[in-house]
Amino acid sequence: MSHLPPSLQSRYDILEAERRKTWSPEALAANIAQRETLVKEQAGTPHVTVGDVLTPHTFTDARGNITSLDDLVSDGPAVLVFFRFAGCPACNIALPYYAETLAPVLKAANIPLIAISSQPFPELDTIRTRNDLPFPVLNDLGLSLSRALGITYVFDDAARQTALSKGGSSEALNGTAHWELPKPTVLILTLGRIVRFIDICPDWMRRTETPVILKALGLEDKGVSHAA
């Protein structure tokens, strides 16, 4: 019996199959339609690319401590994982996956791994405590960096109405009056805030696999392969 960890996509396939069994056809169709639209629009969406230099940005943690991009890359590259919000089911699959497969390799290589969302604390920190994540979860206030990177998207009408019907608000998701979230993105920065790698996933049910990140860092021989 294989002891290799399953890929991130295989975990999403299980979630997708469960949704097809339990969600109403209307809810499922609306969710898929939003994701498909974002995928189609991605090619025409301006965003930072490899070689770009980011402007200075700071983040806060649940205790109010401030961390800057320059702090993160002071000793070499850093890996930043942008996610949607703490209650997002797909994010609660992705971050534990990175904790299991990516964090140990980066820790051994002394490379910071940071998860970032625009959701305000204290709710944002629940994803860290719920999953016992071994890396920091930081707040991108007002979507400042996410917008500068060009990785945000705006809810379509169906998604907004669904959120409102469940008692949600844009302020609870991102601290602003706009129904806007970051697309799941993995960003590798080097000294000087230079973009070394970026992978934007407009479909939040398809995200960057750990071997892709390790290869971008030149650490592909340090990771573990996925089970088939």
For residue range 139-186, what is the model confidence (pLDDT) as tens digits?
999 999 999 999 999 998 888 888 898 899 999 999 999 999 999 999
Can you tell me which residue has the tokens 């049910």? 205
For residue 158, the domain's CATH number is: 3.40.30.10
Helix, strand and coil content of the chain, in percent to the nearest 5, comes to 40, 20, 40
CA distance 33 to 204: 12
200 beta partners: 185
Q: Give me the numbers of helices (H) and strands (E) for the chain, helices first please.
A: 10, 9
**Is residue 228 in some structural domain?**
no
pLDDT in tens, 12-42: 999 999 999 999 999 899 999 999 999 999 9
pLDDT in tens, 124-143: 999 999 999 999 999 999 99
Contacts of 97 (CB under 8 A, 6+ apart): 5, 8, 11, 210
Instruction: Give the least confident one: 27-31, 96-100, 130-134, 193-197.
Output: 27-31
Q: What is the DSSP letter of 159?
A: H
Number of compact structural domains in the chain: 1
**Is residue 94 in some structural domain?**
yes
**Is residue 2 in some structural domain?**
no
pTM for the full predicted model: 0.94
Q: Is 147 helix (H, G, I), strand (E, B) or coil?
A: helix
Domain range spanning residue 156? 8-216
Strand ranges for the chain from DSSP E? 58-60, 66-68, 78-82, 113-117, 137-139, 152-154, 180-182, 185-190, 194-200
Q: Is 43 helix (H, G, I), strand (E, B) or coil?
A: coil
**Is residue 1 in some structural domain?**
no
Closest to 187 in 3D by CA, of 90, 73, 99, 97: 73
